[in-house]
Amino acid sequence: MEDEGNEIIRLRSSDDKVFEVTERAAKISELVEDSPREEDEVTEIHIARVRSPCLQKVVEFMKHYDEEKMKDIPTPLGGDTFNEVMDQPWYQDFVSDEKMDRDMLFDMLTAANFMGIKPLLDLTCLKVTFHLTGKNADEIREILRLPELTPEEEAKAREEHKWIFEDS
């Protein structure tokens, strides 16, 4: 069938804003793919854990990914900077510090995980990886907004997870 995948799917955010995307573009999401659909009806899927600003960006990613697939991120990474590893300009720009602040980046990572969008999860994790690279424990704690450990908690953590503290 020629129109296969061109049906519209509506994604409803946790704050009740609706975004439309073609079924073909939305199928990148395991959550969407696994959601029941009625024949001859526009499908609306409630994305309960994703607020509208983030869902809008997710839909933007889906639409672009449908037109230009993102290359797999190699392991080992094969580069010392984000742009060396991710060499596709649209994807570089999509998560650039100028276009996406840290809060939105973590919201996108969480949304990608919740919705089962592997390429978006890979992209956001790669960006976070380079945000954390070369940082000390206090800087990482600040970036990830982790609470300060009490001396007792830190001693326990150092004992239970020695590998984390090898360089500090």
Instruction: Give the HSE-up count for residue 79: Cα atoms under 13 Å, Cβ half-sphere.
Output: 13
Considering the entire predicted model, what is its pTM? 0.83
Which residues does residue 10 pair with via DSSP β-bridges, in sequence order?
A: 20, 44
- Phi, psi values for residue 135, rounded to 5°: -90, 150
For 49-95, write each residue's pLDDT tens digit.
999 999 999 999 999 999 999 999 998 988 899 999 999 999 999 99
pLDDT (tens digit per residue) in 28-59: 999 998 887 776 666 899 999 999 999 999 99
Whose CA is closest to 58, among 95, 112, 7? 112
The amino acid at residue 46 is: H
Distance CA 85, CA 106 (A): 20
Beta bridge partners of 18: 12
